[in-house]
């Protein structure tokens, strides 16, 4: 095998660097739930040190956790419904047609980033699931695509689009009567005042 062929088989420098980060994320960095448990225990111990009682802390912990049940159910239901839609035959045909529009890696990345931006404005949960599915359709058609980089590009634009999407948690919470955010602000706020506020758009 020639030196050029050997270099190609090992991938580009960017690909090799991303593989190292991917290994760290999968093998070294603990799951986010582990950090939550550790931080919870740290706060619990520190609270004991300043004179708080165990029963008082457990009561406060449960009150805080139970206050998020409604929002957690809403978000969970949204993810389940949008996941079902994203994996439907109709969505698969649509994504396959989109993947046929491009024939090279650069165009595929631009398409995926634009798709992530637009769909995130419609619904963040739908975008979170359907963007990597489109990336898979593109990877099947175009050789040499770096799948992790494609997903990262789509998600990067998704974050930008969420600022203008009414499905964002903050906007929907503020528009709900009696929600925690509405209580903090002192009133409910419609999406016209938050999501579609000219200051937010510009």
- Please report, in tens digits, the pLDDT of each residue of the chain (202 residues total): 444 444 444 666 766 776 777 766 667 777 778 888 899 999 999 998 988 888 988 898 888 888 778 778 877 887 888 778 877 888 888 888 888 888 888 888 888 888 888 888 877 778 888 888 888 888 888 887 877 778 888 778 777 777 777 767 777 778 878 777 788 888 888 877 877 777 766 6
Give the gyration radius of the chain's Cα atoms: 22
Provide the CA 27 distance to its chain's centre, in angstroms.
Answer: 21
**Residue 80: other Cβ atoms inside 10 A:** 11
For residues 97 and 131, is the Cβ–Cβ distance under 8 A?
no
Give the SS3 label for residue 20. Answer: helix
- This prediction has a pTM of 0.61
Residue 199 CA to residue 187 CA, distance in Å, equals 20
């Amino acid at each position: 095998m020639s030196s050029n062929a050997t270099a190609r088989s090992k991938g580009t420098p960017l690909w090799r660097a991303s593989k190292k980060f991917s290994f760290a994320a999968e093998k070294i960095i603990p799951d986010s739930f582990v950090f939550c448990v550790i931080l919870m225990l740290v706060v619990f111990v520190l609270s004991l040190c300043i004179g708080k009682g165990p029963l008082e802390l457990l009561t406060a912990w449960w009150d805080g956790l139970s206050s998020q049940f409604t929002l957690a159910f809403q978000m969970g239901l949204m993810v389940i419904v949008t996941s079902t839609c994203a994996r439907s035959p109709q969505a698969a045909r649509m994504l396959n047609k989109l993947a046929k529009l491009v024939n090279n890696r650069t165009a595929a990345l631009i398409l995926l980033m634009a798709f992530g931006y637009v769909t995130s404005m419609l619904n963040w949960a739908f975008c979170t699931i359907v963007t990597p599915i489109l990336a898979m359709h593109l990877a099947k058609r175009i050789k040499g695509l770096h799948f992790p980089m494609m997903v990262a590009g789509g998600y990067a634009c998704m974050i930008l689009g969420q600022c203008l999407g009414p499905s964002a948690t903050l906007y929907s919470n503020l528009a709900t009567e009696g929600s925690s955010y509405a209580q903090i602000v002192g009133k409910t706020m419609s999406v016209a005042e938050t999501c579609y506020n000219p200051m937010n758009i510009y």
